[in-house]
């Protein structure tokens, strides 16, 4: 049995009085794509920075590759690739130089660095921009340079902090595709996100974080079956009229969530529930039946929506 790549036990991070990460436990296995899902301020980035050995732990145990960040930070950082939330590309260098110089920080010989850089630029489809400075690149392109840069040291573990935040849908899909390819090649990915679809697409397993704590853990599918029903019926009765219908509506589903603009009814059969309501002459302004998602899991666990 392989040792997990990352082990965290009772891990705590405090900034003064603020508890950013509050006694969390998790393991990340070799070759898996592991996600931290949660709203802003949930403690995702703090956890990532501790794993990346750029933030000392306050208490608890954290091991990466079986090493301790305090004693072996340099050795651990040599084996991980980091894609930060804000691209921290070197604006004084070209795209190609960004990769080659970054490789030099890892003591990689120059000719090896050049060969890898050429390959990686091909991989992220930026070969024709290699001699441009990074400033004029679009957000999606910059993020791709960041990913290529993080791969130049052939890391055993990749840390991606909100890899697609702020990108347009098209750029997101290109990025997901690249990350998916990395996964297929056996890379271990740890990523944070506050997008359900991203977590569902990329993560084999994830933890849901809220207020510094892990509130649930499992595969996306698993979490959905555990914490939500198969389908969700969304209904709008118009502003201020949603609450009046809660008691009637709750008779046709397992659970009801009241949001400012709509009611969510968790039911095995959404269409059936809607039909029953119509028979009872309860007609919403609009109604929609969809499959349940991680968003619903999150709502159930924390009582709030993810993207606020």
Partner 1 sequence: MTAPAATERISIATRIIPAVLFDVRRPQRLVERSLVVTRRGWLMVVSGFFEPLFYLLSIRVGLSALVGDVAVGGDLVPYDEFVAPGLMAASAMNGAVFDSTMNVFHKWKQARLYDSLLATPMSAGDIAVGEVTWAVIRGLLYSTAFLATMLVLGMVGSLWMVLSIGACVLIGFAFAAVGMACTTFARSWADFDYLPAVTLPLFLFSATFYPPSSYGDWSWVVQLSPLYHGVALIRAANVGEFSASVIVNIAVLVGLALVGIAVTARRIEKLLLT
Q: Kindly list the residues in this chain that would bind partner 1 in the complex (CB under 8 A).
A: 15, 52, 54-56, 74-75, 77-78, 82, 84, 86, 88-93, 97, 101-102, 104-107, 153
Q: How far is the CB of 29 from partner 1 (least distance, A)?
A: 23
Q: How far is the CB of 186 from partner 1 (least distance, A)?
A: 23
Residue with Cβ nearer partner 1 (98 or 292): 98
Q: How far is the CB of 282 from partner 1 (least distance, A)?
A: 54
Residue with Cβ nearer partner 1 (18 or 246): 18
Q: How far is the CB of 19 from partner 1 (least distance, A)?
A: 15
Residue 146 C-alpha from the chain's centroid: 17
Residue with Cβ nearer partner 1 (82 or 256): 82
The pair phi, psi for residue 150, each rounded to 5°, is: -70, -20
Residue with Cβ nearer partner 1 (73 or 211): 73
Q: How far is the CB of 60 from partner 1 (least distance, A)?
A: 17
Q: How far is the CB of 305 from partner 1 (least distance, A)?
A: 29
Residue with Cβ nearer partner 1 (94 or 305): 94
Residue with Cβ nearer partner 1 (68 or 222): 68
């Amino acid at each position: 049995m392989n040792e997990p790549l990352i082990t965290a036990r009772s891990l705590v991070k405090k900034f003064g009085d603020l508890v950013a990460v509050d006694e969390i436990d998790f393991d990340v296995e070799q070759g898996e794509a592991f996600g931290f899902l949660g709203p802003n301020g949930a403690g995702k980035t703090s956890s990532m920075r501790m794993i990346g050995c750029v933030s000392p732990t306050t208490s608890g145990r954290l091991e990466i590759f079986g090493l301790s960040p305090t004693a072996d930070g340099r050795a651990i950082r040599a084996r991980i690739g980091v894609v930060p939330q804000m691209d921290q590309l070197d604006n004084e260098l070209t795209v190609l130089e960004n990769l080659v110089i970054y490789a030099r920080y890892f003591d990689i010989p120059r000719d090896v660095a050049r060969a890898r850089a050429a390959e990686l630029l091909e991989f992220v489809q930026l070969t024709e921009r290699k001699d441009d400075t990074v400033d004029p690149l679009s957000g999606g392109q910059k993020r791709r340079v960041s990913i290529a840069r993080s791969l130049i040291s052939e890391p055993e573990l990749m840390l991606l902090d909100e890899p697609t935040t702020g990108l347009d849908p098209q750029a997101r899909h290109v990025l997901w595709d690249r990350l998916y390819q990395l996964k297929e090649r056996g890379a271990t990915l740890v990523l944070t996100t506050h997008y359900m679809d991203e977590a569902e697409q990329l993560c084999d397993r994830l933890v849901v974080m809220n207020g510094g704590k892990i509130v649930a853990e499992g595969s996306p599918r698993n979490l959905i079956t555990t914490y939500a029903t198969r389908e969700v019926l969304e209904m709008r009765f118009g502003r201020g009229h949603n609450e009046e219908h809660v008691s009637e509506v709750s008779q046709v589903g397992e659970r009801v969530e009241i949001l400012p603009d709509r009611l969510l009814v968790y039911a095995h059969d959404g269409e059936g529930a809607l039909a029953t309501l119509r028979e009872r002459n309860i007609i919403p302004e609009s109604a929609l039946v969809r499959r349940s998602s991680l968003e619903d899991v999150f709502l159930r666990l924390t009582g709030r929506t993810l993207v606020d």
